[in-house]
Amino acid sequence: MSSARLQLLDPETPDERRAYPRFIPDPAVPVLFAHPHVETPTAGLIQDVSEGGVRIVAPPTARPGLHWADPLRIEISYSESTRAGQVEGTVLRAYVVRLVVDASQLVIQARFDRQGADGAWEAFAQWLASLQTPAP
């Protein structure tokens, strides 16, 4: 049993989310995010993004009512790059894989569900390809 556990924790086996190159949008891209059944979304900013998932930051006072593995609805809001990439207003589906709150910020890491996008996944993927600043 311990060998199976060691195999799961092997750092040579990359997480599927990390298989995609991540990008940092500059300037930051505002988003609205919430559980799909919540009427009033929370505002945040994309910290980094890839085809596999997204990291969103929000003020530490944000209370999105999300928990690990919850479904997540993300609406991309206005920014110069999203308007140019024609992804402003795109709604993406994801689920929460990590949620951290401290005194300075709320950080949500989410994995995208391509089947749950509103049909604009290709435009979103092209916008990602146009981002030139890889995340460290």
Task: Kindly give, in sequence order, each residue whose CB lies less than 8 Å from that of residue 39, ignoring residues fewer than 6 positions away.
Answer: none
Task: Give the total residue count for the chain.
Answer: 136
Domains and CATH numbers, the chain: 2-130 (2.40.10.220)
Q: What is the pLDDT along the chain (136 residues), one digit of tens a residue?
A: 433 333 344 445 455 556 677 888 878 899 999 999 999 999 999 999 888 899 999 999 998 889 999 999 999 998 887 888 888 898 999 999 999 999 999 999 999 987 765 657 788 888 888 876 555 5
Query: Which are the contacts of 103, defined by CB distance < 8 A and separation ≥ 6?
Result: 60
pTM above 0.85, yes or no: no
